[in-house]
């Protein structure tokens, strides 16, 4: 059961990543909660809330394009109605450089009355170092 949820969440994430890498941020926005908090390496501080994330992502719409990407070694920890998905990520365009990332997504299951949907409440993207 737990493994199924883990696979479901990995699938959700991969579907959103696929859209992201074609310039479409809506995949992530559709599965982010109203109170989502967000970090990436380009921002001077944490973004708080879906409105702020929407404004930011809309400013990037159509600007991101990757020809390929890979989710590496995903791990899901289930804690009741919370799930912590972590993975390394690589993306590339043409024969150019590979970009390497660290990612943490925390998903929260909404109450049954609200459809028991899993929504992202925390996103943290950063560059992988070393090597």
Residues that bind a copy of itself (CB under 8 A): 35, 37, 39-46, 48, 72-73, 75, 77, 79-82, 84, 86-88, 102, 104, 106, 108, 121-122, 124, 126-131
Cβ-based nearer residue to a copy of itself, 54 or 88: 88
Q: What is the DSSP letter of 68?
A: E
- Taking phi over 0 as left and psi of -120 to 50 as alpha, with beta for the rest, 119 belongs to beta
Smallest distance, a copy of itself to C-beta of residue 12, A: 17
What is the nearest approach in angstroms of a copy of itself to the Cβ of residue 111?
12
- Looking at the chain, how many residues does it have? 131
- How far does CA 27 lie from the centroid of its chain? 9
Nearer to a copy of itself, 2 or 22 (CB): 2
């Amino acid at each position: 059961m737990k493994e199924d949820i883990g696979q479901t969440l990995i699938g959700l994430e991969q579907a959103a990543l696929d859209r992201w890498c074609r310039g479409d941020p809506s995949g992530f926005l559709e599965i982010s909660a109203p109170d989502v908090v967000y970090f990436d390496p380009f921002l001077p501080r944490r973004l708080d809330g879906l409105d702020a994330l929407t404004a930011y992502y809309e400013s990037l719409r159509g600007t991101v394009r990757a020809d390929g990407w890979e989710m590496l070694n995903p791990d899901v920890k289930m804690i009741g109605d919370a799930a912590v998905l972590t993975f390394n990520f690589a993306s590339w365009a043409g024969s150019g450089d590979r970009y390497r990332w660290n990612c943490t997504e925390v998903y929260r299951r909404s109450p049954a009355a609200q459809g028991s949907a899993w929504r992202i409440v925390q996103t943290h993207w950063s560059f992988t170092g070393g090597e």
